[in-house]
């Protein structure tokens, strides 16, 4: 594989950006792109590398951008024969099989609150090689010793968090509000929900959930914005301890990274799980 493709793939992964790798996995007859030739396609359609140029490359670019939208790759055969029905406008005379591999953006979680759940969650994320950043208004809860693998550690007030995120220039896939103070969690939710591009989740009891949603609406957030708040969080494990809650949240993140096929497809016939009901407990965050 072209080293430029490898470098770009690593760079995009570190920046939490999805992409598609298009690779010639088989070739028959006269073709410009030999077996193993690889091209990387970005979200904006720009390319690194090549699978042979000309009409083939444009067709692969189109299908790769489609794969990015659908978050699913596949295998395609292309005939480089202008005279053949369905063939590309080429006179090479051969055909190629090209694999389109969708590479999901590597998760980057924002953890508001550096308490017990955040600590347990950070350990799970490190095992998965998922990135995370932690923020808290208590400086001793965002130390390097407490969160050695965090990408960013911010000791900020809730009102300053969004500015810290924007200044970092980083992409985040999820934000989980795990704070020790319900009003501060509400403040973070109020500031993140209108513009944060990823999922926003709040760990809460049923009472805290209802009071928080009511407060957010009372502060003027539209219903469609408030409805973005995930609460409860996690997959339904009946989790109780911080470590169990962390596993539940990680399961939710994995589901977001690798979503199940739509109902009706061959791989979606397994029974869907019921919504999670993770309860807040003393000392969990």
What is the pTM (predicted TM-score) of this model?
0.79
Q: What is the mean pLDDT of residues 43-60?
A: 84
What's the CATH number for 108-259? 3.40.50.720
Helix (H) or strand (E) holding 21: strand 19-28
Q: What is the mean pLDDT of residues 53-77?
A: 86
Beta strands, E only, 53-113: 74-79, 95-103, 108-112
**Domain ranges in the chain?**
3-103, 108-259
Q: What separation, in Å, do the N-terminal and C-terminal C-alpha atoms of the chain show?
A: 46
How far is the C-alpha of 250 from the C-alpha of 171, rounded, in Å?
18
Q: What is the mean pLDDT of residues 118-127?
A: 96
Higher pLDDT, 93 or 253: 253
Q: With 70 as the cut, is the pLDDT of residue 267 above it?
A: no
**Tokens 């407060």 found at:** 215
CA angle, 278 then 235 then 258, to 5°? 150
Beta strands, E only, 29-173: 38-41, 47-49, 74-79, 95-103, 108-112, 131-136, 153-155
Span 131-181, pLDDT tens digits: 999 999 999 999 999 999 999 999 999 999 999 999 999 999 999 999 899
């Amino acid at each position: 594989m072209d080293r430029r493709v490898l470098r770009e793939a690593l760079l995009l992964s570190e920046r939490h950006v999805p992409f598609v790798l298009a690779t010639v996995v088989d070739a028959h007859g006269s073709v410009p792109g030999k077996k193993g030739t690889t091209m990387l396609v970005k979200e904006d359609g720009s390319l690194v590398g090549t699978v042979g140029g000309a009409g083939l490359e444009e067709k692969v670019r189109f299908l790769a951008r489609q794969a990015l939208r659908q978050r699913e790759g596949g295998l395609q055969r292309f005939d480089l024969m202008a005279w053949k029905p369905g063939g590309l406008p080429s006179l090479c005379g051969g055909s190629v099989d090209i694999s389109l591999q969708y590479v999901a953006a590597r998760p980057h979680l924002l953890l508001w609150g550096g308490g017990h759940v955040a600590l347990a969650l950070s350990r799970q994320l490190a095992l998965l090689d998922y990135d995370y950043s932690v923020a808290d208004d208590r400086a001793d809860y965002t130390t390097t010793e407490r969160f050695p693998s965090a990408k960013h550690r911010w000791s900020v007030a809730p009102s300053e968090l969004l500015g810290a995120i924007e200044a970092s220039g980083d992409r985040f896939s999820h934000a989980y509000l795990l704070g020790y103070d319900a009003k501060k969690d509400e403040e973070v939710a109020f500031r993140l929900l209108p513009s944060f591009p990823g999922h926003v989740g709040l760990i809460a009891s049923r009472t805290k959930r209802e009071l928080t949603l009511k407060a957010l609406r009372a502060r003027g957030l539209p219903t469609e914005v408030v409805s973005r708040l995930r609460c409860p969080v996690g997959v339904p494990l009946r989790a109780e301890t911080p470590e169990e809650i962390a596993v539940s949240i990680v399961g939710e993140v994995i589901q977001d990274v690798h979503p199940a096929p739509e109902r009706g497809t061959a791989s979606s016939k397994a029974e869907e799980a019921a919504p999670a009901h993770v309860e807040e407990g003393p000392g969990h965050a």
